[in-house]
Amino acid sequence: MRSLIGFLIHSEGVSPLGEVVPDKQSPAKGTSKNESEELSESSNVSDNWISFDQELPAEWLKPFQTKSPPEVLLSSENLLFQNVTLPSKDRSELQDMIELQAETLSPYPAEQSLLAWELLKQEGDHSDVLVILGGRQHVDKLKPQLKKKQLLPTRMDASPCAWLEGLRQRGHIPKQGAFALWLLPEGESPCLILGEDQQPLLIRSPGLEPQPPLSLLEQELEQALQDFELEQGPLSSGPLLIMLPKDSPLEVSEHAERLDADPEILLSGLKERVDRTETLNLCPPDWLKERQQELQLKGRLRSLISLAAVWVLCMGLLMGSTQLQKNQLDAMKGELRILQPQLEELAQLQETLRDLETFSNRDRSSLQMMKYIAERIPSDGNLHILDFLYQKSKGLSFSGQLDRNQEPFFRLVEALAEHPDLDVEDYNLKQQRGITLFQIDSPWAWIKDEEASDS
């Protein structure tokens, strides 16, 4: 069974149980001045991520001290939601189409972007898909704190999706027809969902402060309806739902229905989404690979320890006297010394796995490198690439020609030198029949770094 509650991340920061993280002005009860200052400095909240450290109250971490990894919920202000209709029903084809569209939708570079999608419905040969994009920088800031608590997750979901699922289970979302839903949980930036037949058609986080005035929510709703009508046509009328904390002083008009932001709604929605394997997952692929490697290494170590324990037990049963026990104990020490090379072999295996992960990095693929070079060819020079050689274990080289003006060539060399994985150490220029021929050779920079480390 997975740990279902996860981390709900938002601007002020709450603990896994919903309590507000102590800030610098309100030290925890029972702590001295020095202790509270140390707590304030070590448990900070930045970029909508909670920093967990050893100073936080132990009861906040109890839901996560399980054998299964926790679920992490990402708030809407760091995510981009997009509904798309694609001409296919095959999941592999949908994945390829979404990855192509993500290049134009995502505000982040490809290597710094997180992508996940979820199938909403299928009609005929078309599929309606919810695509979610996020930035790696927000997730990577959380990784050291999670690993410190041995809580590296394997699933990341979006907070609005979990709230919507929970409200759907409670019967607050109409089974048929359109609806508009404002999500205003404690401390979170407001999130608007427009939907029909219980499915989201538009999810938007306009970047408002928590608990804004009702007039501002009405303006944002009107703007969202206008934008939706321009893109997809008018949305039929339906109820307006506003979810607020129970003690929120915000007054709701008679045309809207007020819902309480009960954490149990979020938990039930998250549990339902966890049980459905086809729901989206924003967890970075390298996190999943790292956890799989850790589990494999732990499994091998457990097997080794189990074999050693069985061997010790059998030898203990054969001991009939004190002298024999002493002799057998000496033999056991010798056997344990024999196991030492195997432990060293396991350490070498772990190093090999890290090398394989570096070797299989898609950012160093031939297509990515060709794209990188093509984007940096100066547009104001007559420079053409005629030959391109890519060797994943060594590096790359390419040649081409240009006119007598060699300035574009040197600007290209300077641009290539900025790539962290390239080490442009050799290039050649040669004049032939009125044109200039060039050759550039660049081994992988990480190969040279490993050679320096080994030496």
Rounded mean pLDDT, 191-203: 91
pLDDT attached to residue 358: 57
Looking at the predicted structure, is the pLDDT value of residue 188 above 60?
yes
Say which residues have a Cβ less than 8 Å from residue 50's Cβ, sequence separation at least 6: 7, 9, 13, 14, 15, 21, 142, 145
pLDDT attached to residue 192: 92
Say which residues have a Cβ less than 8 Å from residue 102's Cβ, sequence separation at least 6: 113, 115, 131, 133
Rounded mean pLDDT, 188-205: 89
**Sheet of strand 113-123, all strands in order from the earlier edge strand to the far edge:** 79-86, 126-135, 113-123
Lowest mean pLDDT among 26-30, 90-94, 236-240: 26-30
pLDDT attached to residue 450: 63
Looking at the predicted structure, is the pLDDT value of residue 53 above 50?
no
Rounded mean pLDDT, 298-314: 82
**In whole angstroms, what is the distance from residue 435 CA to residue 84 CA?**
49
Secondary structure (3-state) at 171: coil
Encoded tokens for 104: 């134009």
Looking at the predicted structure, is the pLDDT value of residue 167 above 90?
yes
- HSE-up (13 A, CA, CB side) for residue 299: 6
Looking at the predicted structure, is the pLDDT value of residue 372 above 80?
yes
Rounded mean pLDDT, 90-97: 89
Amino acid of residue 66: T
Burial 149-175 (b: 16+ CB within 10 A, else e): eebbbbbbbbbbbbbbbbbbeeebbbe
Encoded tokens for 129: 């898909």
> Contact 243/264 with Cβ under 8 angstroms?
no
Closest CA to 6 of 288, 267, 278, 285: 267
Cross-strand partners of 444: 422
Lowest mean pLDDT among 13-17, 282-286, 352-356: 13-17
Rounded mean pLDDT, 243-268: 84
Looking at the predicted structure, is the pLDDT value of residue 173 above 80?
yes
> Contact 112/137 with Cβ under 8 angstroms?
yes
- In angstroms, the first-to-last Cα distance of the chain is 47
pLDDT attached to residue 78: 78
> Contact 165/272 with Cβ under 8 angstroms?
yes
Rounded mean pLDDT, 94-112: 83
Cross-strand partners of 203: 193
pLDDT attached to residue 362: 66
Higher pLDDT, 22 or 139: 139
Secondary structure (3-state) at 446: helix
Looking at the predicted structure, is the pLDDT value of residue 29 above 70?
no
pLDDT attached to residue 107: 80
For the chain, give the mean pLDDT: 75
DSSP 208-232: PPSS--HHHHHHHHHHHHHHHHHHH
Looking at the predicted structure, is the pLDDT value of residue 39 above 60?
no
Looking at the predicted structure, is the pLDDT value of residue 57 above 80?
no
User: What sign for the dihedral angle of Cα 306, 309, 314, 317?
Assistant: negative
Looking at the predicted structure, is the pLDDT value of residue 25 above 90?
no
pLDDT attached to residue 331: 83
**In whole angstroms, what is the distance from residue 452 CA to residue 199 CA?**
56
pLDDT attached to residue 321: 67
pLDDT attached to residue 275: 78
Amino acid of residue 134: G
Residue where the block lists tokens 């710094």: 112
pLDDT attached to residue 179: 92
DSSP 364-411: GSHHHHHHHHHHTS-TTS-EEEEEEEEETTTEEEEEEEE-S--HHHHH
